[in-house]
Structure 1
Amino acid sequence: MTPTSPSAAAADREAVLDALRTYLEAIERKDPDAAIRMFAEEAVTFDFAPPLENHFNSLSDPSALEEWFETWVGPISTEIGSAKVMVMGSLAVVHGLQRLHGRKKNDGDLSMWYRATFILSRREDGWRITHMHNSVPMAMDGSGKALTELKPA
């Protein structure tokens, strides 16, 4: 593998972050089609909602996202905290803590931090998400309770 110049590495890193920003902005605008476009055809996600894994074929139907968007009043804000980005050729890994906040229709204000990992691949039409994994820590007291109230130190 040919070493990447520092300027090319910085450009790749910024392009990867731009792709993630595009995805997160689509979530904020509640635009399921734009969000789905940021995924590669073979994408697999491990997200909060069941099932344990989603293959892109099930994600390509925007109805699940539309239903989730309907549970919110106004925009759904999400931001990646101190993201770590590693790019190696046409593959990128981004991980860090992410914050989701907004107003739920039946539950009021929501603000939660969670762990997020994205794997992206470079395509002819730009960087696309091939894997996304979101999770929250679980109480280890046998309750199985998700610890959504935790905040970064």
Structure 2
Amino acid sequence: MTTTAHDAIRQQVGKIVEGIQAKDLDALRRIYAADVVSFDVEPPLQHVGVEAKLKNWARAFTLFSEVRYEVRDLTLTVGDDIAFGHCFGRLSGTLGDGTATNGMWVRATFGFRKIEGAWLIVHDQASVPLDMPSGRGVVDLEP
């Protein structure tokens, strides 16, 4: 566990924020491993491969004329070539019709692997708590 590895991974998370806010799929592509597996909040149960992950982001970007992404409480555990982190994330902004939205907070988990000297995301998961009696996601919680 080294400070430089922690810093490099935090920089990668910062690049996620920048890429999302710029709606820059090429920038996001450089952060994910080619074989990334993503468990996102929308179907299907998993998105496999960087193209599937980017397709998911592209769909999200079509909803927004301006998009913001916020990360809170990022915690990392770093080994020599494997790391994981968790945080809260919120996608918000202005929708295509001009409506401002505060979005919703999700629980986010990242798995990183050091590949050819770069920390890349090999797994991510975004989720919301479930209200068991109704079977619906709870999307109005704040961290």
| SS across alignment from 2:138 | coil
| SS across alignment from 2:131 | coil
Indicate the residue corresponding to 1:54 in structure 2.
47
The counterpart of 2:27, out of the listed 31, 34, 40, is 34
Q: How far is 1:28 from its partner?
A: 0.8
Once residues 21 and 95 of structure 1 are traced to their aligned partners in structure 2, the CA distance between those partners, rounded to angstroms, is: 14
Moved over 3 A (4+): none
| SS across alignment from 1:69 | helix
Once residues 17 and 50 of structure 2 are traced to their aligned partners in structure 1, the CA distance between those partners, rounded to angstroms, is: 20
Indicate the residue corresponding to 2:59 in structure 1.
67
Structure 1: gaps of 5 or more residues: none
Structure 2: gaps of 5 or more residues: none
| SS across alignment from 2:60 | helix
- Confirm or deny: 8 A CA contact 2:33 2:122 kept in the other structure: yes
Question: TM-score, structure 2 length as denominator?
Answer: 0.89
Once residues 18 and 40 of structure 1 are traced to their aligned partners in structure 2, the CA distance between those partners, rounded to angstroms, is: 16
Indicate the residue corresponding to 1:150 in structure 2.
141
The counterpart of 1:114, out of the listed 103, 106, 114, is 106
Give yes or no for the alignment of 1:21 onto 2:53. no
- Confirm or deny: 8 A CA contact 1:86 1:92 kept in the other structure: yes
- If each structure's strand is expressed as a fraction of its own residues, which one has the higher value? 2
- Confirm or deny: 8 A CA contact 2:38 2:124 kept in the other structure: yes
Indicate the residue corresponding to 1:131 in structure 2.
123
| SS across alignment from 2:86 | strand
Once residues 117 and 12 of structure 1 are traced to their aligned partners in structure 2, the CA distance between those partners, rounded to angstroms, is: 18
Question: TM-score, structure 1 length as denominator?
Answer: 0.84
Once residues 56 and 127 of structure 2 are traced to their aligned partners in structure 1, the CA distance between those partners, rounded to angstroms, is: 19
* Structure number with bigger Rg: 1
Once residues 65 and 97 of structure 1 are traced to their aligned partners in structure 2, the CA distance between those partners, rounded to angstroms, is: 18
Question: How many percent identity over aligned positions?
Answer: 29
Give yes or no for the alignment of 1:86 onto 2:77. yes
Once residues 100 and 14 of structure 2 are traced to their aligned partners in structure 1, the CA distance between those partners, rounded to angstroms, is: 26
Once residues 103 and 147 of structure 1 are traced to their aligned partners in structure 2, the CA distance between those partners, rounded to angstroms, is: 22
